[in-house]
Amino acid sequence: MKKLLLILTILFATSVYAEHEESLLDNTLYMQQLPALCGAPNKINNYIDHFGFEAQSLSLGRTRMMKDGEPVYMMTYMVNKDKTESISVLTIPNGTESCILYHTFDLIEDLENYKKN
């Protein structure tokens, strides 16, 4: 029974991986509306300042999601001063709009210690 379960698990995991790879090639992945908070960059900065967030990291989104693509947006990951909340801010290069994609709570930064306790 254990061998059968192991074989089925391996087969299932393999087929899921293959479906994922295929979906990237045939465009079956799709964009979804997200509950984002958007506005002029100065208004988003007011929100950031009001809740005391500070940037922790920056990264660039590039065309075709390819490493060598042209930069099309910037993501800024931020945490508040007591490191219990986080937000992610998407900024478009022309600077007319920024969006907070999420504002989460109960942040755990050190997963190793968290798992041990």
In this structure, what token pair is assigned to residue 93?
A: 């290069």
Three-state SS at 29: coil
- Per-residue pLDDT tens for 48-81? 999 999 999 999 999 989 999 999 999 999 999 9
**Band of pLDDT at residue 84, cut at 50, 70 and 90:** very high
106: left (phi over 0), alpha (psi -120 to 50) or beta: left
Rounded-to-integer distance, Cα 98 and Cα 38, Å: 6
25 exposure class (CB count in 10 Å sphere: 0-12, 13-18, 19+)? exposed
β-bridge partners, 103: 87
Whether residue 11 has pLDDT greater than 70:
no
Three-state SS at 102: strand
DSSP letters for 41-58: HHHHHHHHHHHTEEEEEE
The CA-based diameter of the chain, rounded to the nearest angstrom, is 61
Mean pLDDT of the chain: 82
Three-state SS at 17: helix
Whether residue 19 has pLDDT greater than 80:
no
* CB-CB neighbours of 76 under 10 Å: 18
Whether residue 18 has pLDDT greater than 80:
no
